[in-house]
Every structure is written in C-alpha cells, then in structure tokens.
Structure 1
Amino acid sequence: MEFADLITTPKLDGVILHSPFHDPIDGTLCITGHHLILSTRKDNVQELWLLIQAIDSIEKKPTSGPVQNGGTIVLKCKDFRHLQLDIANTQDYHNVYTSIERLSNLQKPELSYAFFYRPMYNILEDGFTLFRPETEFAKLLATDEWRISHINKNYTVSKTYSSVLIVPKCIDDNTIVTAASFREGGRFPILSYRHENGAVLLRSSQPLLNNNNKRSRADEKILNAVLGPNKKGYIIDTRSPNLVSHSKSKGGGTEPDGHYTQWKKIFKNLDKLVKCDGSLLDHFSRLMEACYDKQISTDKWLSRLENSHWLTHVQNLLSTACLVAQCLDKDGASVLVHGSSGLDATLLVTSIAQVILNPDCRTVRGLQALIEREWLQAGHPFQTRHSKFCYSTSRTKNQQPTFLLFLDCIHQLHNQFASSFEFTTQLLIVIFENSYYSNFGTFVGNSEFDRQELKLSEGTTSFWSYLNRPDVITNFLNPIYEPNKAAIWPSIAPVSLVLWNELYLRWVIDQKYQKIAILKINHLIQGDKDLRSTVIRMRRQLLDLQKELQSLSLEIEDDDLSDHI
C-alpha cells in the first residue's frame, strides 16, 4: 500500500484554518502520508504542521442552505487542541475529509511516522539501551541476594515481561517457569524496587486458581524467599473483594490465605482502573467536555468536575501508593502489588510509590528510567491503550488513559513539593504528548516483545535520545530544584488536589503571559543565588505548613493499615 493511494486531494488552495488563540488563516493545505501542512504567504504567520497520528476525531459539518457549498472539517486532537478547516468547494471538502480519515485510522505500527522520521542532529546516546535492567540494578546485583535471569530471552515465559529479569539468587529458572504458569500472562512476582532499609516492592498479575484454590509451591517459594524467615509482608490487591470474586469465577482470584501465611492481604478499591471496560476514559471524556464548554456556569463547572470522577481517581491512586510506601518505609515490610493482569493499576501504584520514596525518580534521568522500568519493560500496552483518546467515537474498552493518570499524580506531587523535582511539569506534558503521537519509536508497540519484532532500535529514533540533548533538556529543568533525599508524603485531602490547568485547559485559557512570567522568573532565579535561596526558604516554610495536612492524611492511612495487621 502506498500513502498516495489514500490521499484523494494532496494539495488545496483557499483553506481557512481556525485554531485556538490565533486569527483565521487563509492558506494552502498539503496532505502527506503523515502530516497536515497549512502554509500562507503572509509574513509573521506560523504555518501548521500537524502529525496525522495526533488526530483523535474528525467531524464533518456541511454548509447549511438550499445549495450545499463546501463545509467545515473539525479536528479534535490528542493534545486537546480543536482545529477547524473551512473548505468552499463541496467535492474538495469531501476529498479532504476522506483522506484525513483514512490516514488517521491506519492500524499497523510500522506505518507510523516514527519509522520515516530521520533526525537532523547527531545522536549523542542511544536511548534504547540507556536503561537496561543490568545497569539499573547494578548495585543490587553486586550483592548475594539477586541475580539476572535470561529464562525469558525468547519471551516464552511471559510475552509482556522483558527478556532480562531480576530474580532472587536462591530461585532457579525452573522454579520461575513453574511459578509463571500460576499467574495470568506468566507475570510471576518480579522485583520493582528495593528500599534503602532492605524492604522490597514486587509486582505481578493475579494467581490462576481455577475455582479450586489451587496452590503453587513455586510461587510461594519466590515470595517467601524475598521475605526471609519469620518476616511478614503485605499483598496489596488493587481490586475490591467483589471484583476478586468475579475474577475467581473466571479462573483468577487472589492468593489463598492458608498458603501465604507470611503475607497479610489488603484490598484497595481501584476497580475502575483495573477493569478495561473503558470507564476510566469515559470519566476523562466528561472532564474534557466540561473544560471545553465555554457557556458553563460556575456551579455547573464544579458539579461536572466532580461528576467526572477524575480527581477521585487521582486521590484513590495517591492513597494506595502512600499505603504501599508506608509499608516499605515505616514498617520495613516488603510488598507485592497486583490486580488482574498487572498491566494498569499495578504499574500505577508501584511507580507512584517509588516517586514518593526514591529521590532518584524525581530527577530527569530517574523519571525516564522509571518509565522504562515500570511501564515500557513491564509491558504496559501503549499501542493499544493510546490508539484512541477521549474524543474518538470509535474507541473501545481497551483504550485507557492509565499513563496520563500516572503523569497527573506526579503533577500533584510536584504541586506540593516543587523544589524536590529536578524537572518542571512541562516535561510531563512533553512525555504525555509523545506517548500518544510522536516522531520517535519509544512508545510504539505493546511490549518489549513487540518492539523487538518491529526492530524499533534499528528503524526508529529513541525519544530519550532527543530529550537528553543539552539544548533540549535545559528547557525542562527546575530552577528551584534542591535535592531532597527524604520521602515526600503528599496530602491527599480533596482541597490539596488541583486540576492540571497547564495541560487540560491550555487551549481554553491562553497561558502565553503566564509562560512569559515564568521564563522571566526562571532567568532571575538562575542569575541570582540570593533570590534562589529566598525562594527555596519560602518553599520550605510552605512545606512545613503542608505537613500538618500530611500528618492528618498519614494518621488516616495508619488506621487503614492497622486494620489489616
């Protein structure tokens, strides 16, 4: 198939573009295999270059009247932008609509722009090999506790795990194979993070019980080897007991208490996150509808914001992540986190808990490593989850904004502890955009297995290779960053959680002047050490005030935890 076969009208003059915060532009529209380009001869008017992969929804609005004469095409994009193309001729109008619709619905990953993009700069480091498990866990592998296993080198143990696995040194590969057969998708308990006190965070999928409480001695051996003798750990099941019972009727379930005597089980109600029924995306769609309703009153805005349940998901997720972090840090107890498949809520909880506990995850490189380790190498199906977004009418239950929820939770932490992060929230926005549409191959595919099959490291450029270039990454560095080795315990009270205006409302409220002000403040802070010290001191005073709210939240979580001990 050639892209030219899908494009009925490759070039058209007299197209009028309407875009947020700009006057209408009359120009020439060019349609290529991957881009919409609208250019004009007028000076000081920036032309439009839109990656077609960024289009989530395309709508036709024919000109009304006794004689149809052209119409309007509305493009709703995955970065929340709404664009409008006015075309005078009816045949051209239909041709442009058909061309864009065909190109925006191509399913094969190898047809995406990442395979055609060629960087015009030197690659300073290969992002595809930058965060391999061997290097990320090098210090841990130097001990007598953990080792590298290549049992999954051909992805026969688990299609969604990486080829290199970090496992307890006392566990042989045969035990791993047996334990994998006991877990959905072969996702046996695997190391996610080791806290400085020695407590370990594990993640897996649900056990396959087949309605008869079948046990797996191999699975029990792995978990007990992590604990050691006479120690207790926690299993955080991200599902409610009702959903667990429903899973059990289908052959899944949770660990039988009688066979996991060293582990205490806690159920957390994150059902909307673990059930791939599209409800999470539906809730986010409600939020976007409210954000783009320009006629909405204050009362209705607050009501629709609450009814979207998006901030409720953020709150519940932060609450569960704090509980996991407390078990590791305060109790010194190891934790296993899992839901059903271990591909969504599980990864959310384990990754956010690490941002709370591990100061390295609050640096630029540490955040990249966390995304590689807990999302890309852990098999989060980006290709499936991100193929459609909140505007599409053809989305299915498999499309979910799980990764966006992760970034929003980091934004909440950043809002409460701004000086503890090396990067600004603009970096989170750029990562969000590239996870949905990109020049780069990092987020293409559903797993490491897919990326090996597609030969991404040979045919595409890594997003990290681009982002880590000095002239790029400096734009995202936080001028008030002060390394903080301590854990950051957020307030999860409703009044402490905020809507991510910088992302969700950026095409509704013009943020040009805020950006100019931030740039000036950053230049002042970077050039004036005394001013930087003053800002940091004020931040510390603010954090002291926040601790009162945090202590209340922690007391609530302590009560929750003590109920299960």
Structure 2
Amino acid sequence: MEFVELIKTPRVDNVVLFRPFLPKVEGTLCLTGHHLILSSRQDSTEELWLLHSNIDSIDKRFLGSLGTIIIKCKDLRIIQLDIPGMEECLNIASSIEALSTLDSTTLMYPFFYRPMFEVVEDGWHSFLPEQEFELLTSVLQYWWGRGTAINRLFKGCPKHPPPSSKPRDIGDKGFFKVTFRQGSLYPHSSPPPKKKVLVMMRSGQPLTGTNGRRCKEDEKLINATLRPGKRGYIIDTRALNVAQQARAKGGGFEQEAHYPQWRRIHRSIERYRSHILQESLIKLVEACNDQSPNVDRWLSKLEASNWLTYIKEILTTACLAAQCIDREAASVLVHGTEGIDSTLQVTSLAQIILDPNCRTIRGFEALIEREWLQVGEFFFSTCCATPYCCFYGKWLVIYRLLLDSALLAEGGLREFVDAPQSPSAWSSALFFSVYSIQKASLLFNLKKKKRKLKLQQKTVSLWSWVNRPLELEKFVNPLYEANSLVIWPSVAPQSLQLWEGVFLRWNRTSKYLDEAYEEMIHIIEYNKEMQAKVNALRRQLAELETEDSVQKSP
C-alpha cells in the first residue's frame, strides 16, 4: 500500500485554521504521508505541522458549501479547519482518518524521519542495562552477582531486557525457574541511592491461589536479597481485600511464614481495572476545556475529577517506600497485580525522592529508560487512545503512569524549586514526545520487537535529540542547585498542583508566563554578573592587603 492511495485530495487552498488564543490563519492545506501541513498566505513563517499519528478523532460539520473539520489530538490539542467545498472537506477528512490509523509497521513515521541536526550522542547506547548492573555490583557486593544472560532470547520473561541481574547465591537455572509471579515478572531491581546498601525491587503478584501454592525458587530469590538479621518490606499496592480476592483467580500475596524476614504492607492505589482513572482523566480534560471564566466552577470540576486525590495516593505510597529504605534501613519489594501499573509509579517516584541523581536531566532519562523502556512497558499501545476517544485500550493507564512520574518529579516536588534540574518544560517535552513519535525510543511495547525491527539501525533515539547542548539549554532549571539529601515532598492538598504545561497548554495564553520566565532569567543573570564583580573586587582587595603587609614588614 502506498500513501498516495489514501490521499484523495492532497492540496486545498483558502483553508482557515482556528486555535485557542491564537489569531486565525488562512492558507494552503497539504496532506503528506505523515503530516497535515497548513501554510499561511500572508506570513511565510506561520505554519502548522501536525503528525497524523497525533490525531485522535475528527468531527465534520457542514454549512452550505463550507465544511468544518474539528481535530482532537492525543496531546489534548483541539484545532478547527474551515475548508471551502463539501467534496474537498469529505476527502480531507477521510484521508486523515485513514492516515492516522495505519497498522503497518514499515509505514510509521520514525522509519522515514531523518534528523535535521547532527547526532552528537547515540541515544540508543546512552543508558544500557549492563551499566546499571555494574552499579549494583559495586554497591551491593555482598549479595548481587553478575548479570545473567539466561533471558537472552526473552524466553524467561519478554518484559525483561536480555541480561538480567540476580543475587549471587542464585544460579542461572534456579533464576529461570522463578515463573511463580504473574506475567513471569521476576523481581526487577533498581539501582540503590548512593551510600545505600539496600535494594528496591518490583514484580508481579505471587500465584499462590486458594490452595496456598508455593515456589521454593521464588522464596529463595526474595529472601536472598537480605543479609542475615536484616528485614525488608513488601508494599502491595492493592487493598487487603482486593489481594485476598485475587487468590480466587490464581493470584494472591506472600505468606509471611515463607518470607520470614519480610513484612507486608497494603496501600491501595487505583488502577485500570475499575476504569476509575480513565473516568477521572476524562473529567479533568473536560474541566480544562471549559472556557467559562467562573473560577468556582473550574475548581468544582477539578475537585470532582479526583485527579489530584489519586496523585496524593501515589505520592504517599512512594514516600512510604522511600521511608522504609532511608529511615528503616530496609529493602523494599513493591508489587500490585502484574507489577507494571501502580508498581512503576511507586518505584520511580521513590527513586526521585531518594536519589539526587534522578533529579537531574540525565538521571531522570536513565530512570525512564531503565524502569519503563528497557523493561518493555506499553507506550505504543497507549498512543492509540486518549480522553477524546470513545474506546479505551487496556493499557491506557500506562501512558498515564509516565505522565504521573514526570508530573510528580516536577510538580509534586514543587516546594523544592531548586530540587529538579529540569523544569516542567522538559517533562512536558518528554510527555509530548510520546504522541509525536518522531523518535523511536517510545515506539513498540517490548524490547524483543524493537530488536527484531532493528530500531537502533533504522531510527533515531529520543535521547539523541534531547541531549544536544543547544536543546538542553532550553530545559535546564535556572534555579537548580545540587541537593545530595533525601527530599520529602508534602502530600497536603494545597501542595499538589495541576500540571499546567500539559493540561492547560492549549487552553490559555502563555504570554505572561513567558514574560515572567524571561524576567526571572534576566534577574538570575544580573545577580551572577554582580556576584562575579564582587568576587573580583574581593580578590583585588586581598592582593592589595598582601602587598601592603609585605611593604610594612621589616
């Protein structure tokens, strides 16, 4: 199939574009295999480039010979196109619908994208699992052994990268037998914070069932992560009654008699099964799109969505996991049902709280790569639906998990203005990259498929783009100061704020925020200049005092 077969009308003149808080643009609309392009007739610099893969749904309206297409995008943007001629409007609409729902892998945009910048750093090799294993081995020498290649062909667990780390006392055969957990997701460890000889792991639920089934290999593996006399905490992100109900379906939780050094704690976090999160997201987006100037109405809708309530639950559980490591000196195992939803939220945010390196740009990139991409989470599946779409995929919540991680890294910790090296703009760029899909780092679910399609040879990594020096300058927090301490964010309701860079990006003008940011940069640069002058005067004074003391000496 060729793109030309799907494009019925490649070009239409006199099309008018309407966007919130921006002047209308009249120009020529063109359709290519991957983009919708509108160029202004009056201003050659005014252009709209919209990827078809970013389009979620379209609505068609007609008034006489004038057709209107309202495009709702996966990044929450809404635009309107007025197209003269009913036939042209229908052709454009049907072409967009066909091009935005392509199923063929070889026709996806990352395989056609050619960077317009010099690739200074190969992002595909920036954060390798082997590097993380070396860090584990150096810090946890007393129990963590070499990386094992037992999962080289992804037979043990398709969600793990081919090399998998394991305790020193566990052989390869014993490690391979640990299929006792849902999804065969054996415990996956995250690098410990500096000066910590503890570990934080995540996994799927144990398949104990109603008969109390056991797995000696699993018990040995979990218990081997603790030194004699030490204890650990198992944080189950399900309520106790939910975990007990899971036993009837073959799941369950760890029995303390078989894991004697571990204490189990239940902390309930909403997940995709109840569809509560999806409904909350829908209500939140509806509230953000409400153009009413009534502040009370806006606050009422925001509260009714319960979105910030769920963020509080996630952050509270992450603080609990961090407290177990930092205050109790105990290792932590976090799991829910499959170990890939709320589990990822908790472990990712706990690392941000504990590890100052995760609060830097490269450290946060490494966290996303290590905890989300290398382990094969479902980014690509989640790019198929948004709050504007009537169908919700099972893994839509995974997309939300990435957003929550970035949100809480930059927003939930907002009282520490100087804590994250990257401001919300960087996290917003990372979020919107999920749906732009120009770079292939966030493409496809499993590393196994990425390797099969040779993404490293045929496409460009997201990190190759974002880690360019000129690009990083846009994202570095001007107030950033390295903080080597553990930071404990407040979970009080007044401390949690909505992520404006995502939810309100298209619904309010950024003029005044941009002006305030520029003024802040000006003040910071002025203070630096003044401080440099003060330091220079101090050096001159010190030199004069030295000369004077030399002259006075006998």
Q: State the TM-score, normalized to the length of structure 2.
A: 0.92
Q: How does 1:506-521 map to 2 (within 5 A)?
A: 506-521=505-520
1:38 partner amino acid: L
CA drift of 1:287 comes to 0.4
Partner of 2:13, secondary structure, is strand
Residue type at the aligned position of 2:82: D
Tell me whether 1:120 sits opposite 2:142 in the alignment. no
SS in 2 for 1:76: strand
2:536 alignment counterpart: none
* One-letter identity of the residue aligned with 1:168: P
Name the amino acid aligned to 1:85: L
Q: Is the 8 A contact 1:278 1:399 kept in 2?
A: no
Q: 2:279 is matched with which residue: 270, 277, 282?
A: 282
In structure 1, what is the Cα distance between the partners aligned to 2:448 and 2:432?
A: 23
- Deviation string 1:258-312 (CA, Å, 9 cap, x unpaired) is 2112111111111x22x34543222111101011111263333222111111101
- The share of aligned pairs that are identical, in percent, is 42
Aligned to 1:30: 30
What is aligned with 1:105? 101
**How do 1:137-286 residues align onto structure 2 when only pairs under 5 Å count?**
137-142=133-138, 143-146=141-144, 147-179=146-178, 181-195=179-193, 196-270=195-269, 272-273=270-271, 275-286=272-283
Q: Deviations over 1:23-78 (max 9, x none)?
A: 22221110111100001221365111111111122111222xxxx42321101112
Residue 519 of structure 1 aligns with an amino acid whose one-letter code is E
What amino acid does structure 2 have at the position aligned with 1:298?
V
Q: Deviation at 1:140?
A: 2.8
**SS state at 1:227 partner:** coil
| Ranges in structure 1 where 5+ consecutive residues have no aligned partner | 534-565
- What CA distance in whole angstroms lies between the structure 1 residues aligned with 2:435 and 2:247? 34
The answer on whether the counterparts of 2:381 and 2:445 sit within 8 Å (CA) in structure 1 is: yes
Q: Is the CA contact 1:277–1:397 (under 8 Å) kept in the aligned structure 2?
A: no
Alignment of 1:400-415 (within 5 A): 400=397, 401-415=400-414
1:112 to 1:246, Cα distance in 2 relative to 1, 3 A? farther
Q: Cα gap change, 1:285/1:168 in structure 2, threshold over 3 Å: closer, same or farther? A: same
Alignment equivalent of 1:84, drawn from 60, 70, 80: 80
Aligned residue for 1:50, secondary structure, equals strand
Q: CA deviation at 1:212?
A: 1.2
Give the CA deviation at 1:420. 1.5
- For the 8 Å contact 1:211–1:248, the answer to whether it is kept is yes
Q: Report the 3-state secondary structure (helix = DSSP H, G, I; strand = E; otherwise coil) of the residue aligned with 1:249.
A: helix
The letter of the residue matching 2:31 is I
- Specify the code of the residue in structure 2 equivalent to 1:405: D
Q: 1-side partners of 2:531 and 2:110: how far apart?
A: 40
Retained in 1: the 8 A contact 2:12–2:29? yes
Please say which of residues 241-250 and 314-323 is displaced more in the overlay.
241-250
Q: Is the 8 A contact 1:19 1:82 kept in 2?
A: yes
Deviation at 1:79, TM superposition (A): 2.2
Q: Alpha-carbon deviations, 1:227-271, whole Å to 9, x = none? A: 12222111001111232133222111111222112111111111x
Instruction: Kindly state the Cα deviation for residue 190 of structure 1 after the two structures are TM-superposed.
Output: 2.2
The answer to whether the Cα contact below 8 Å between 1:15 and 1:26 also exists between their aligned partners in 2 is yes
Q: Label 1:532 to 1:417 Cα distance change in 2 as closer, same or farther (>3 A).
A: farther
2:444 equivalent to 1:445: yes
The answer for the alignment partner of 2:544 in structure 1 is: none
1:463-474 alignment, distance < 5 Å: 463-474=462-473
**What whole-Å deviation, never above 9, does each CA across 1:166-189 have from its counterpart, x for those lacking one?**
21122111111111x101111111
Kindly indicate whether the alpha-carbon contact (under 8 Å) linking 1:414 and 1:425 is maintained by their aligned counterparts in 2: no
Distance 1:343 1:184 in 2: 11
Output the CA distance in 2 between the equivalents of 1:447 and 1:296: 45
Aligned to 1:386: 383
What is the CA–CA distance in structure 1 between the aligned matches of 2:284 and 2:531, rounded to whole Å? Answer: 37
User: Cα distance 1:493–1:414, how it changes in 2: closer, same or farther (>3 A)?
Assistant: closer
1:321 aligns with 2:318: yes
1:135 aligns with: 131
Q: Give the aligned partner of residue 43 of structure 2.
A: 43
Q: Which whole-Å CA distance do the structure 2 matches of 1:239 and 1:110 have between them?
A: 40
- CA 1:485–1:477 in structure 2 vs 1: closer, same or farther (change >3 Å)? same
Q: Using the alignment, how far apart are the partners of 1:28 and 1:530 within structure 2?
A: 48
The equivalent position to 1:308 in structure 2, one of 290, 300, 305, is 305
The answer (yes or no) to whether the contact 1:109–1:444 under 8 Å persists in 2 is no
Paired with 2:333 and 2:165, the residues of 1 have a C-alpha distance of 15
One-letter amino acid of the counterpart of residue 9, structure 1: T
Structure 1 SS opposite 2:15: strand
Superposed, 1:307-386 pairs within 5 Å as 307-386=304-383
- Kindly provide the CA deviation profile for residues 59-116 of structure 1, in whole angstroms up to 9, marking residues without a partner as x: 11222xxxx4232110111222210011121111111110111111123444221111
1:441–1:460 contact (8 Å) kept in structure 2: yes
Deviates more, 1:453-462 or 1:393-402: 393-402
Map of 1:554 onto structure 2? none
Q: Which 4+ residue blocks in structure 1 deviate beyond 4 angstroms?
A: 530-533
Q: Give the whole-Å Cα distance in 2 for the aligned partners of 1:35 and 1:218.
A: 52
Amino acid at match of 2:168: K
Residue type of the alignment partner of 1:162: P
Partner of 1:547: none
Structure 2 stretches of 5 or more lacking a match?
Answer: 533-554
Quick check: 1:5 aligned with 2:2? no
Deviation, 1:530, is 7.2
Instruction: Check the 8 A contact 1:321/1:352 in 2, yes or no.
Output: yes
Give 1:211 deviation, angstroms. 2.4
Give the distance between the partners of 2:262 and 2:530, measured in 1 at CA: 51
Match of 1:94 among 90, 94, 111: 90
- Partner in structure 2 of residue 295 of structure 1: 292
String of CA shifts for 1:121-158, please: whole Å, max 9, x gaps.
22111111111121134233243532211111110000
Q: How many residues align?
A: 526
Rate the CA distance shift 1:126–1:489 in 2: closer, same or farther, 3 A. Answer: same
Q: Which secondary structure does the structure 1 equivalent of 2:440 belong to? A: coil
SS of residue matched to 1:107? coil
> Do 1:62 and 1:70's aligned partners in 2 also have CA atoms closer than 8 Å?
yes
TM-score (norm 1): 0.90
Q: Which has the larger radius of gyration?
A: 2
1:470-489 residue CA offsets vs partner (Å, 9 max, x unmatched): 11111101111110000110
Report 1:478-517 matches (<5 A). Answer: 478-517=477-516
The whole-number CA distance in structure 2 between the counterparts of 1:27 and 1:221 is 68
Contact 1:291/1:505 (8 A) holds in 2: yes
Contact 2:154 2:162 in 1 (8 A): yes
258-267 vs 43-52, which moves further: 43-52
Distance change in 2, residues 1:18/1:395 (3 Å)? same
SS in 1 for 2:177: helix
Summarize deviations over 1:426-469 as a string: whole Å, max 9, x none: 00000000122221000001121121122111111001001111
Deviates more, 1:117-126 or 1:412-421: 412-421
Higher mean alpha-carbon deviation, 403-412 vs 40-49, is at: 40-49
CA distance in 2, matches of 1:249, 1:445: 33
